[in-house]
Chain A
């Protein structure tokens, strides 16, 4: 699976670390240039403003599912694996959490508690899938590609079976607020102001001018991001992940419990996807057995744009965030520019490849090839 003998992040010399930092900044520069491009062109071509509070919040909400799927995937790909089941795990979790919320609410739970049990159900269901994936990959040595591809069919079938004609509806009134309301509110114009937690009771023009700042899905995703950053960059868990992806044999020789660690990685990947499914249930007020299907490719694209090497051993959480942002900024920007749909597809493809090319420059700078067995 991995036969590269290059050293990974922590063992780099000071000079190389500096180069690595520079090339990492490239992703930021790329994102910055793209935002600047839209800030300039959108007003010229459509008379609207791209750089607004509401637009930034729309983009943050839009990246949450792609980012959550990408977070777990980042760990897995750094370990030189791949998890193709995340989209369907998200769908399964969406259905399971909807059932849990509906059942516990009908059972007499207060709404916040019912929503929380939906969260627990989503996490539990996805952890089971991840545990099975990981165990087969780690202990039975079946390639991750095959295992997760196979399990995605199983998960998809189970999700559809558990759903009611693909969607679970009849969820409690008010649940929608958990997926669409926010931490802060800013009401523009006269009689407006800044509000914390409590949604201001406004109507008409004031309601139109109300911005939701840090919607709950964004807050929850941010918490998951922080946990993942801590795990990957500050703990032994993270160091082992890089080590396994960098050189599996060396990792085994140094006494890292590789099998157990790989199982945990696939559980983590499933669970972040499960949280995405839970959030989608809250946002769209229904559990959907197909909600995650189209997200697999976007999430992998985000991870790769963000600089995670498909051959393992390199990558960061911040990179994945930038990757997800690049995709989302592009979608919003192109729609606001009024670019025709088919042209949008072409532009997205070109930008994704361009972003990865720029990222590759890091490998050129560091003198390590991506070819297998290089260095």
Chain B
């Protein structure tokens, strides 16, 4: 497996004057992994902790590059830089766009680097039968499924009936789109007594999220629940709920268990928090790389890491509290 291309030998040789001999000698037995998440945020930071922990446990080297903003324009140059190093065997990445990132990642494959996608996928995420085959595996929790779980959690909290409202960030972001889609799908199919209002888009402005939710409360005095498709939206929506004297009466669900979301729950602004498992995603991805390198051929092409719903009652239970995104 450890095939060093002619190019990388040439590169290594040309930079021999700069690098220590020991480092060069190491090249052949250590697996080197590039880690390229989607953007700077607590979710990916916890994933990075998982990657680093696995790297330490399994004795592999990790190089991390984090895009400052979410987008193809920000991720691609960093990917190209990782490929250009010439010493990586695997890249673990969360592609920021399922179609546009195919070609840039194909370049990595052409350079002899294997790809594992985490959190987000390429094509339809089915690497066995779908349109995109080259990645080793996809390890993550589907946003649509997250929307479904949120819907069931909220429905249980409001007793299966009433009006619920979706406040979302931007209409053109696939992750929150999936969350809305799964949420609406389950409410329609499984809870006929629940009416879904919205989504409205706050365009990443917490103040607008609060204003929109306040307007919805004015229009629907009987509102039972709100689904904020990220922590920011849930925080703004929750503020409107509390200020209308409805804290604890209208249930607010926040997507992603950041420490901020947990604090909002402590303050009574948010009532349910949906946790993904970014640590698992990072750790498993490194394990998959090591297994693939050792010649394991039966790795699953798709792994769902699942969710946990955290509420006021279970937040201090270590079984649940461990899913809070503990960033340094």
Interface residues of A (CB under 8 A from B): 42, 46, 48-50, 52, 54-55, 58-59, 61-62, 64-66, 160, 164-167, 169-170, 176, 180, 207-210, 212, 280, 283-286, 288, 290-291, 293-295, 328, 331-333, 335-336, 338, 341-342, 344
Minimum CB–CB distance from B38 to chain A (whole Å) comes to: 14
B327 touches A165 (CB 8 A): yes
Closest to B220 in A: A48
CA distance A285 to B239 in the complex (A): 10
Q: Does B123 contact A (CB under 8 A)?
A: no
- Of B200, B206, B243, the residue contacting A335 (CB under 8 A) is B200
Closest to A208 in B: B245
Minimum CB–CB distance from A53 to chain B (whole Å) comes to: 11
CA distance A170 to B220 in the complex (A): 33
B171 touches A341 (CB 8 A): yes
B267 touches A335 (CB 8 A): no
CA distance A55 to B267 in the complex (A): 24
CA distance A328 to B208 in the complex (A): 9
B239 touches A180 (CB 8 A): yes
Total contacting residues, chain B, CB less than 8 A = 46
Contacts between chains A and B (CB distance < 8 A), count: 119
Which residues in A have their C-beta under 8 angstroms from that of B258? 165, 167
Binds A, one of B39-47, B87-95, B184-192: B39-47
Closest to B199 in A: A341
Q: Quick one: given A54-B244, A208-B246, A328-B211, are A48 and B218 in contact (CB under 8 Å)?
A: yes
Q: Quick one: given A166-B41, A176-B267, A208-B246, are A280 and B206 in contact (CB under 8 Å)?
A: yes
Q: Does B307 contact A (CB under 8 A)?
A: no
CA distance A341 to B244 in the complex (A): 23
Of A49, A65, A286, most buried by chain B (CB within 10 Å of CB) is A286
Which residues in A have their C-beta under 8 angstroms from that of B221? 48
Interface residues of B (CB under 8 A from A): 40-42, 45, 68, 171, 197-201, 203-208, 210-212, 214-216, 218-221, 232, 235-236, 239-240, 242-246, 249, 258-260, 263-264, 267, 269, 327
Closest to B204 in A: A294
A341 touches B198 (CB 8 A): yes
B206 touches A284 (CB 8 A): yes
CA distance A344 to B215 in the complex (A): 14
CA distance A327 to B17 in the complex (A): 63
B245 touches A209 (CB 8 A): yes
A342 touches B215 (CB 8 A): no
Extra inter-chain contacts (12) besides given A169-B259, A335-B215, CB under 8 Å: A49-B218, A54-B244, A55-B215, A160-B68, A167-B258, A207-B245, A212-B243, A294-B203, A295-B207, A332-B214, A332-B215, A335-B200
CA distance A333 to B216 in the complex (A): 10
A58 touches B214 (CB 8 A): yes
Q: Quick one: given A208-B245, A210-B245, A286-B263, are A280 and B215 in contact (CB under 8 Å)?
A: no
A46 touches B245 (CB 8 A): no
- Of A61, A169, A176, A336, the residue contacting B260 (CB under 8 A) is A169
Of A166, A212, A284, most buried by chain B (CB within 10 Å of CB) is A284
B260 touches A167 (CB 8 A): yes
- Of A280, A286, A342, the residue contacting B207 (CB under 8 A) is A280
CA distance A115 to B220 in the complex (A): 35
- Of B197, B211, B263, B267, the residue contacting A58 (CB under 8 A) is B211
Minimum CB–CB distance from B262 to chain A (whole Å) comes to: 9
Minimum CB–CB distance from A92 to chain B (whole Å) comes to: 16
A52 touches B218 (CB 8 A): yes
Closest to A333 in B: B215
A-B contact pairs, 11 of them (CB 8 A): A42-B219, A46-B219, A48-B218, A49-B218, A169-B263, A180-B239, A212-B243, A283-B207, A285-B267, A335-B219, A341-B171
- Of B218, B245, B260, the residue contacting A286 (CB under 8 A) is B260
B207 touches A62 (CB 8 A): yes
CA distance A284 to B198 in the complex (A): 23
B41 touches A165 (CB 8 A): yes
Which residues in A have their C-beta under 8 angstroms from that of B212? 331-332, 335
